Structure 1
């Protein structure tokens, strides 16, 4: 794969602060690219995964760090990144954020005009019953705080990279408008690009759409979105009913129609590779992954990225449906002959992570591992975002195919001492899960994980 991007980053020494860092999607991308990062994550299990993976981490609430210990962050950080919790904005979530979009835009303008943190915090109480809705404002509040930090010399971040579910695209456009036209309260302005990108067009073996914002401080050149390297997936005539997929999915004519030749020419005479399928990443043994027998079928019970037409059954020759916290419920069938299938095991967490482009043998730890996998930024997609933001060549599609080497016990203890305050346990400074969870509803609505 070739790229027209310059080989020298627009920054001499990129250093990423990853807000809402999860189990490490963006940080894994940074590690593979040789870019240091520090992640802030409030969930204990996600932090255990990060420590096991050897990633620099603060087990903390993003808002609390900004309010109470921003000056303790490394002053050399010059890239701000983050994917705020999406449950209230996702089409699979409770929708509180989508109903509050106009109100959130108002708070964006108030922040840029210089309203005090106290006034904003008081006003944010009116955003509804789910406190996570206001977290989408945190990247902007961090950007402003950087210009008021004596430890940084009041120096603004050079680059900002944000991603969220498609429903947040309108907010990212509002971010872009104020960053370009009004600037931060100190006068710093940015050049910004925003769009919704499909991750399968960047080599991720699943259909997942994300609203992306990339901003560069004025004087650092025009930002651009990463160029697609793979074809978009089209469902075409793949039948969504299990009984007909079993009979039809493996006919050569359908396979040829659904799988155009790799390196097919596209608009602008650019070459793109064929989208990657589940079988592409799971069929062969790698690390402790024994390889998954093909052909196989996967049945999910929900739509993908807001497109109900994408739900149902897919074969190993197709990308996965959006990997969410429900990945552990995907039912996998092994194909025995032309008309009979046997229900097989569900995806292991190692396999689920590989569908997200985490390296094989990534050390998933703690509880709710499926939710960790589903909430993460696909590392390969994250690598595309970082390279585009920094003006680097597009990453090699095989960048993350080698097994991950976990941290040693000594390394984990050191990371946890820094992140939690003790080598083997959380301390009083670590957040409690209930501090950010929405209050229990009096109605008995079914809880649905976010996309």
Structure 2
């Protein structure tokens, strides 16, 4: 099976500018997922480096602060039927200082206050006492409320993801979305304004990415919601995506002496034969070899290897985790270059390249990473394969995946297309919120006017 061909937005549908609005869009994990589902998307992203990746990849982008767009420039926010996003997780992450975890109770209380006061002036005052990033987890709800108060009406679907610590916030979201506490004004038959309940079917839980074909162990708190209206999909109730692959479970053998850190973990065999086994680092890198070669960033990984993690088990840096080549990767972070690939004799191998790290996140091997801080871009992104499952579940469709779960992009789009997207995202009359690493695409870049699939890139005649 080849990669799905890209589909454009229905030109006869004038009610929406795009299908998906991706808040905190990063380099485009959810946008890539939307693309392979045949959906159009637009992202709002503050980081100029991530924007440069998006422009080179052909992804429509507004280079701006999500909060500023809601407060001051909402008329410029495209109208979409799907609201999606993964707010910054640093303050909630276990790896961070934990200011967000300490403020979880406060944040969940503010959700109820926003329902009572959609403009949220009192909420803004209370947020000043928290880490500036912590309040960003409320932005998806504030965009929903803004869509209603602006007269656009509520989003039909909502898809959110974050680190597991944010599950309590998503649970509070679910409560208010399903309760009917959110109101919208409607004219009744006599022409009088009446407040109508806005209610959603909602489900949320903590999911593991390796159970969805991503060659990496990573836990994510996911919420999906579907507006209850005249088309309630009564024949297919809203459910989180069911796992397609087995969970990765490890058993660490006993080790003694100085070699203790070099003992790789052993993985348990999948208990459920109905599911495919988790996807390994080697399987993913091997499947993406052609795309990695096309990116000029390919390193032979055919021999057996293992990877020593940058992080220590239980907080002890001397007890670093180890994964075999035929196992999923550790969680890909912005520090993946510190993970040490080794051969079976303990000899160091080349570190993972940016494109390889992207493949371990399930990005196409030829995705055009650009700008600075590319490792951080990769680590912060939503894994596209996982995003396809989440978006598909919200829409009630089962995604169609290419052979070997290998996505292909076709490299950077034409230089003119990239320049057009940059001009749209950063118009000259407006100063960009952060430095923007304008670069010049190399001569001979792709002449495609939009992202291409691996199938179309390899078979131009099709």
Q: Calculate the TM-score normalised by the size of structure 2.
A: 0.80
1:208 aligns to 2:212 (yes or no): no
CA distance in 2 between partners of 1:215 and 1:334 (Å): 46
Q: Which residue of 2 aligns with 1:360?
A: 365
Q: Which residue of 2 aligns with 1:324?
A: 333
For residue 240 of structure 2, the aligned residue among 225, 249, 261 is 225
> 8 Å contact 2:92–2:99 — kept in the other structure?
yes
How many Å apart are 1:243 and its aligned residue?
3.4
SS for the counterpart of 2:21 is: strand
Q: Which residue of 1 aligns with 2:349?
A: 344
CA distance in 1 between partners of 2:206 and 2:407 (Å): 26
> 8 Å contact 1:240–1:312 — kept in the other structure?
no
CA gap of 1:378–1:56, structure 2 versus 1, over 3 A, is: same
CA distance in 1 between partners of 2:128 and 2:78 (Å): 31
Q: Which residue of 1 aligns with 2:97?
A: 94
* Superposed CA offset, 1:175-194 (max 9, x none): 10111114324231111101
CA distance in 1 between partners of 2:42 and 2:322 (Å): 39
CA distance in 2 between partners of 1:161 and 1:111 (Å): 19
How many Å apart are 1:40 and its aligned residue?
0.4
Identify the range of structure 1 (107-116 vs 161-170) with the bigger mean alpha-carbon deviation. 107-116
Q: Which residue of 1 aligns with 2:432?
A: 430
Q: Which residue of 1 aligns with 2:414?
A: 408
Identify the range of structure 1 (220-229 vs 197-206) with the bigger mean alpha-carbon deviation. 220-229
CA distance in 2 between partners of 1:321 and 1:174 (Å): 30
Report the RMSD for the aligned CA atoms in angstroms.
Answer: 2.7
Q: Which residue of 1 aligns with 2:442?
A: none
Where do 1:150-165 residues align within 5 Å? 150=151, 152=152, 155-165=153-163
* Superposed CA offset, 1:387-423 (max 9, x none): 111011133264543353311110110000010114x
> 8 Å contact 1:283–1:294 — kept in the other structure?
no
For residue 105 of structure 1, the aligned residue among 104, 108, 111 is 108
For residue 19 of structure 2, the aligned residue among 10, 15, 21 is 15
SS for the counterpart of 2:431 is: coil
For residue 180 of structure 1, the aligned residue among 166, 178, 181 is 178
1:385 aligns to 2:390 (yes or no): yes
How many Å apart are 1:25 and its aligned residue?
0.3
How many Å apart are 1:122 and its aligned residue?
2.1
Give unmatched runs, 5+ long, in structure 1. Answer: 2-11, 434-451
CA distance in 1 between partners of 2:170 and 2:317 (Å): 24
CA distance in 2 between partners of 1:411 and 1:101 (Å): 42
Q: Calculate the TM-score normalised by the size of structure 1.
A: 0.82
How many Å apart are 1:258 and its aligned residue?
3.9
For residue 295 of structure 1, the aligned residue among 304, 318, 328 is 304
CA distance in 2 between partners of 1:102 and 1:370 (Å): 32
> 8 Å contact 1:15–1:35 — kept in the other structure?
yes
Where do 1:433-444 residues align within 5 Å? none
* Superposed CA offset, 1:111-154 (max 9, x none): 1113533332222212x2x200000000000000011224x3xx
Identify the range of structure 1 (13-22 vs 200-209) with the bigger mean alpha-carbon deviation. 13-22
CA gap of 1:305–1:366, structure 2 versus 1, over 3 A, is: farther
How many Å apart are 1:311 and its aligned residue?
5.2
Where do 1:11-160 residues align within 5 Å? 15-75=19-79, 77-126=80-129, 128=130, 130-150=131-151, 152=152, 155-160=153-158
CA distance in 1 between partners of 2:269 and 2:272 (Å): 14
